């Protein structure tokens, strides 16, 4: 069976614990959310240029949990994200990434009370 290519716009957000995939196709939008259970492997010589990360995720679809694998892979700057059910790798969903943005969320610093230090008195 030959893979079918469909043109669609998709936004994929990955953080340390969660995955959100929102896709628009023929005027309809669908969102899938998943929890990252484990990072199986992470091997990059240069991030998003050459390398691969494999995640085990649990995706909630139509009220049912589905154990899945997600692979983020780049070769010579060409990046793909592939999804498939953990026990069924005969059917895959693959996205070719044309544009991406890497953002870093910086947590605000907590205000620590100023520490007072005592000066020692010198004896002469």
Query: Distance between CA 72 and CA 52 in Å, rounded?
Result: 6
Q: Determine contact, residues 33/18, Cβ cutoff 8 Å.
A: yes
Q: What percent of the chain has pLDDT over 90?
A: 35
Q: How far apart are alpha carbons 66 and 68 in whole angstroms?
A: 6
Residue 87's pLDDT is 83
Residues 57-87 pLDDT 10s? 999 877 888 999 999 999 999 999 999 998 8
* Contact yes or no for 38/56 (Cβ under 8 A): yes
Q: Return the domain boundaries, the chain.
A: 9-97
């Amino acid at each position: 069976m030959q893979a079918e290519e469909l043109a669609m716009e998709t936004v994929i957000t990955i953080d340390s614990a969660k995955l959100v995939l929102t896709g628009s196709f023929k005027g309809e939008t669908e969102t899938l959310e998943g929890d990252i259970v484990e990072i199986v492997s992470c091997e990059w010589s240069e991030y998003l240029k050459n390398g691969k990360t494999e995640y085990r995720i649990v995706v909630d679809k139509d009220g049912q949990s589905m154990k899945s694998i997600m692979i983020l892979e780049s070769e010579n700057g060409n990046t793909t994200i592939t999804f498939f059910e953990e026990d069924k790798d005969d059917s895959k969903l693959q996205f070719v990434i044309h544009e991406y943005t890497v953002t870093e969320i910086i947590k605000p610093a907590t205000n620590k009370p100023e520490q007072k230090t005592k000066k020692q008195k010198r004896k002469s």
